[in-house]
Amino acid sequence: MHATARIRRFAGAIAKRSLSAVRRPVAKLLHASGAHYCPVCGSNVRRFRPFGYPRRENARCPVCGSLERHRFHWLFLTRQTNLFDGSRRRMLHVAPEESLSAVFRGIDNLDYLSVDLNDPAAMVRMDITNINYPDEHFSVIYCSHVLEHIPDDRKAIAELSRVLHRDGWALIQVPITAERTYEDFSIVDPKERKKHFGQEDHVRRCGPDYVERIRSGGFEVQVLDATDVATDAECATMALEVGAPIFYCRKR
């Protein structure tokens, strides 16, 4: 990409982030009461907004933009990890979601780094099949809904394992949309990919067996659902993603 185009994209991303910072407190006031609660931004809202295709009616926070999975992840991070104990940590955030990245950047004890191959809002442009950092450099890795986009996902998993500190942990999630993981690298047309994998930029459908691929990359994995970190009432109030597990990983 031409340098001028890169600068324009980066400037656009910064402007979008700045505008979001202004809009968020206004949105929080407009949605200051309601039966639903977003733990990411601490907002009580009347309802979550529709999102996605197929359309999910109770999905996106109108204040911070978090989706069901982000609220689930946030509860897990706050309730079952050491992310907020005040210790100094290096965190790698792959394909940063705006709602969570904004919060992570504000945690004083985190040396935070966001990376993405294409998103100009990320701090560093990087292909995670070739992470340009030393072994055991990061003590926390957050990688959600990324690996289903990467043809050589095994190499990406091995790289994530390589740069994770032996005392660290990673939160990894992929969408589980099949009984068994299915991929066909001869399918390259975006329309065909959408037909086979559910999205134009996906290269596979992941099944529950995908956990074995992560384990084979050098991780010990604990599989957790939203009901493992929240009550049924909380899952309803926060519209958490139930039945879509996360992989809590430590270096083997």
pLDDT tens, N- to C-terminus, the chain (252 residues) = 444 444 344 334 433 444 445 455 555 555 556 799 999 999 999 999 999 888 999 999 999 999 999 999 999 999 999 999 999 999 999 999 999 999 999 999 999 999 999 999 999 999 999 999 999 999 999 999 999 999 999 999 999 999 999 999 999 999 999 999 999 999 999 999 999 999 999 999 999 999 999 999 999 999 999 999 999 999 999 999 899 999 999 999
187 touches 196 (CB < 8 A): yes
Q: Convert 51-64 to b/e letters by CB count within 10 Å (16 or more is b).
A: eeeeebeebbbbbb
d(CA 188, CA 11): 32
**Domain at 67-251: CATH architecture:** 3-Layer(aba) Sandwich (3.40)
Tokens at residue 4, please?
A: 């001028």
Question: For the chain, which residues make up each domain, given as ranges?
Answer: 67-251
What integer pLDDT is reported at residue 34 of this predicted model? Answer: 77
Tokens at residue 91, please?
A: 């965190």
What integer pLDDT is reported at residue 53 of this predicted model? Answer: 82
Amino acid at 203: V
Q: Specify the residue for token string 């200051």.
A: 32
What integer pLDDT is reported at residue 29 of this predicted model? Answer: 52
Cα-Cα-Cα-Cα torsion 109, 77, 74, 244, nearest 10 degrees, comes to: 150
Q: What is the 3-state secondary structure (H, E, C) of the chain?
A: CCHHHHHHHHHHHHHHHHHHHHHHHHHHHHCCCCCEEECCCCEEECCCEEECCCCEEEEECCCCCCCHHHHHHHHHHHHHCCCCCCCCEEEEEECCCHHHHHHHCCCCCEEEEEEECCCCCCCEECCCCCCCCCCCCEEEEEEECCHHHCCCHHHHHHHHHHHEEEEEEEEEECCECCCCCEECCCCCCHHHHHHHHCCCCCCEEECCCHHHHHHHCCEEEEEECHHHCCCHHHHHHCCCCCCCCEEEEEEC
Tokens at residue 111, please?
A: 């040396």
